[in-house]
Structure 1
Amino acid sequence: MKFYLQICLTLLFSLPLFSQNTYYLEGKLGKSTIFMEITEYDNNYIEGNYFYQKSLKDIRLNGKFNEATYVLFFGNDYGEEEYQEKFELLKTTNDFSGKWKNKAGKTIAVQLKKIDFNKYNSLNNQEIENNLDLVKLSLLNFTQDSISTYKNQEIIWLKETHCNAPFFRLGKTFSEETKKNINTILAKTHTEMTLNQLSCSSPFSYNEGNGIEYSISIGFLNDNLLGYQIFSSYFCGGAHPDFGGEGNLIDMHTGKNYDIDSILAFDKSVTSYGDENFEQFSTYRATFFAPKLFKLINQNEKFGTSNNEDDYCDYTENEIWDFPQWNFTEKGIEFTPVFARVARSCEMAFLVDFEKLKPFKNPSFPYTL
């Protein structure tokens, strides 16, 4: 499952250079076990990342290498001034040794060797963005936090001990078969959220395990479907914080997660994101999805074209409805238009009730609206 925001964890500070070699390492920083990644780029530039076994939170590095000598910094652009941490390493084959320093002058020995990934297995076939996530998967620890109810059904909330990433599972009021099928899917989502949180860092600030503020809301539940939204407000480095929501609708029998185009079809040319013909998908969204969705919403809202140059919340612009966020609820589907960054404060949810959406139900969607 790919989040709407994708958490923007690709470093905005990375230079547009081509990578050459990447080393995945494990070993000791003094008495502490650490895991590290070092990637070489053109012009002898390197980027790195490491985490302690006890915390799992990424610490981003960058620096320079010259033949077998590697110098990486945290807290500065590979400069000698104002850095928080510094690694001075010597490479022999694929092993590294050297020392770590902090800005106070403390020095600790470092010994690293190539990771044998054969001893790490992907949990529940979890999709990973980085090889070091395989290590983290073996060290995650989910524990029960609280229990709530939704429509008289038990919802169990779990947390992960290394960071702030709450999420839920189905409780004892559900059948064993349903729990087995759906909780496996929910666990994979929770693991992805946790890995995102642990990776939410920059070369200039430490990851405290709360850079992404998750808000989870269950909006729909019956014998056939489970609807929920994951809203994320995040700052993982870069110029600005950001936020976004992702709607989910899971089939309680098959585990299928329906996207909005599997639920609604405003034209027979409907297609889904991820299909091979992205141009067809974009054309459908711009030509049919956006204008017809706006028409449904505007029946209640009565938006008019703004003549005020200072009013940038113009809800009549077609493109803001091309790829809206959505949330399946008991009353209908909420749609949130997506504005340019300068107007993100304009984003708010608009509910379209099921009665208005019924004529546009995708014929392949197996349930009534």
Structure 2
Amino acid sequence: MKKGLIILLLFPIVAWSQAYAGYVGKIPIHLEISINENDDDPTKGRLDGCYFYDSKLISIPLSGVFDNDNYTMVDGYHYFEDSVNDADEVFNLQKNGNQLIGTLKLKEDTFKVVLTKTEEDPIDDYRDPKLTFIKDSVSTYQDKQLVWFHEKYSGAQLFRLGNGFTQQQRETFNLKLDSLHLEDATGALDCNSWFELSHTIHLVDSQFISFRKSYSVYCGGAHPSHGTVGYTFDLTTLKLIDTIETLYPEVDFFKLLKDKYQDETDEFQDECDVFTEASNWDYKQWNLTPKGVNLTPSYPHAMTACEDDYFLSYDEISKD
């Protein structure tokens, strides 16, 4: 199994993953764990992985330890090695042949657990084929319709092209939107701590669809992730446009933005090197609008607060 989470330790380890399916009480679950043996004592080591209830499909991270055939795991977001059994959610399991048998303590309640080893990948073979897109609503832009869907288990939303677009446009871009929607849905299910997405439609006309995805995500670690991703579909060429320079190859966007917006007295611009460090614009996000282009510089993870929008009208661009 390839989804196991491997934790880097300060001593050598040997690791492999195992998948199980079975029950907590009467509720069916799938579990996958990565077993990390201590190199100097393979009867002991670390456990990392996740499980999900079959009715929800939302992954719950696990971390813990094993000693011979005894496995102890807790919610991975609240794992402290010296107080494993004090956690609110604790698996105490014993390996018996191809089974793990024991209990799950959830706060004051305790449930019997019986799990059987399976060759089925819990994510690829069981969870992902169950993901389902359900129609919500329709947004109309003149004669063109965007049809909104949500994924049943994750709640992730995204649109598809509907009436008003040609069959070729729908076939081409709806496949891309299916893929983007699936990525968002699996991301939300994999990260059950904090996973927020929203979409803003900036332009729908006879030539382009341009929209932005904003995200705020925390899946463990020191800091959450925030940011935006822009998408622009060319309805004529049937291609996703990666860079604004594809449409305006002769335009120096950094120079235009700097000439329009640079203010040497602005503390925000100074702290973020908005217009003094051109490399901040190398991987800029952008979107077309009816009146011009929104552009956003790109910063390292710890500096995403510096990412702000700057607008150039089509007249300003055409003068360059």
For residues 28 and 76 of structure 1, what CA distance do their matches in structure 2 show? 23
Cα distance, 1:38 vs. partner? 0.2
Give per-residue Cα distances to partners, 1:88-139, cap 9 Å, x unaligned. Answer: 223355543332222315132322221335xxxxxxxxxxxxx614422222
Equivalent residue, structure 1, for 2:276: 317
Of the structure 1 ranges 345-354 and 44-53, higher mean CA displacement relative to structure 2 is found in 345-354
Cα distance, 1:60 vs. partner? 0.8
Select the residue among 77, 88, 91 that pairs with 2:92: 88
1:37 aligns with 2:32: yes
1:160 aligns with 2:135: no
Cα distance, 1:310 vs. partner? 11
For residues 94 and 185 of structure 1, what CA distance do their matches in structure 2 show? 41
For residues 179 and 20 of structure 1, what CA distance do their matches in structure 2 show? 45
Relative to 1, partners in 2 of residues 1:145 and 1:97: Cα closer, same or farther, differing over 3 Å?
same
3-state SS of paired residue (2:188) = helix
For residues 159 and 59 of structure 1, what CA distance do their matches in structure 2 show? 21
1:61 aligns with 2:62: yes
The one-letter code of the counterpart of 1:321 is W
The one-letter code of the counterpart of 2:67 is N
Select the residue among 285, 289, 309 that pairs with 1:349: 309
Equivalent residue, structure 2, for 1:281: none
3-state SS of paired residue (1:62) = strand
For residues 104 and 266 of structure 1, what CA distance do their matches in structure 2 show? 64
For residues 268 and 245 of structure 2, what CA distance do their matches in structure 1 show? 38
For residues 284 and 130 of structure 2, what CA distance do their matches in structure 1 show? 36
For residues 86 and 223 of structure 2, what CA distance do their matches in structure 1 show? 23
Cα distance, 1:178 vs. partner? 2.6
State how many pairs are aligned. Answer: 306
Equivalent residue, structure 1, for 2:178: 187
Cα distance, 1:261 vs. partner? 6.8
For residues 255 and 20 of structure 1, what CA distance do their matches in structure 2 show? 45
Equivalent residue, structure 2, for 1:270: none
Q: Is the 8 A contact 1:185 1:255 kept in 2?
A: no
For residues 187 and 322 of structure 1, what CA distance do their matches in structure 2 show? 28
The one-letter code of the counterpart of 2:157 is P
Q: CA RMSD in A?
A: 3.3
Relative to 1, partners in 2 of residues 1:70 and 1:253: Cα closer, same or farther, differing over 3 Å?
farther
Relative to 1, partners in 2 of residues 1:22 and 1:265: Cα closer, same or farther, differing over 3 Å?
farther
Cα distance, 1:266 vs. partner? 6.2
Give per-residue Cα distances to partners, 1:151-202, cap 9 Å, x unaligned. Answer: 431111111222331110112232333322222221111111011111113x
Q: How does 1:139-288 map to 2 (within 5 A)?
A: 139-201=130-192, 207=193, 211-252=194-235, 255-260=238-243, 263=246
Equivalent residue, structure 2, for 1:304: 264
Equivalent residue, structure 2, for 1:106: 110
Which ranges of structure 1 fall in alignment gaps of 5 or more residues? 1-9, 118-130, 202-206, 268-288, 361-369
Relative to 1, partners in 2 of residues 1:29 and 1:310: Cα closer, same or farther, differing over 3 Å?
same
Greater relative CO, 1 or 2 (CA 8 Å, sep 6+): 1
Relative to 1, partners in 2 of residues 1:148 and 1:103: Cα closer, same or farther, differing over 3 Å?
same
Cα distance, 1:84 vs. partner? 1.8
The one-letter code of the counterpart of 1:111 is L
The one-letter code of the counterpart of 2:198 is S
Relative to 1, partners in 2 of residues 1:94 and 1:266: Cα closer, same or farther, differing over 3 Å?
farther
TM-score normalised to structure 2 length: 0.82
Q: Is the 8 A contact 1:221 1:227 kept in 2?
A: yes
For residues 314 and 298 of structure 2, what CA distance do their matches in structure 1 show? 22
Relative to its length, the structure with more strand (as a share) is 2
Q: Is the 8 A contact 2:154 2:185 kept in 1?
A: yes
3-state SS of paired residue (2:220) = coil
Select the residue among 4, 9, 20 that pairs with 1:25: 20
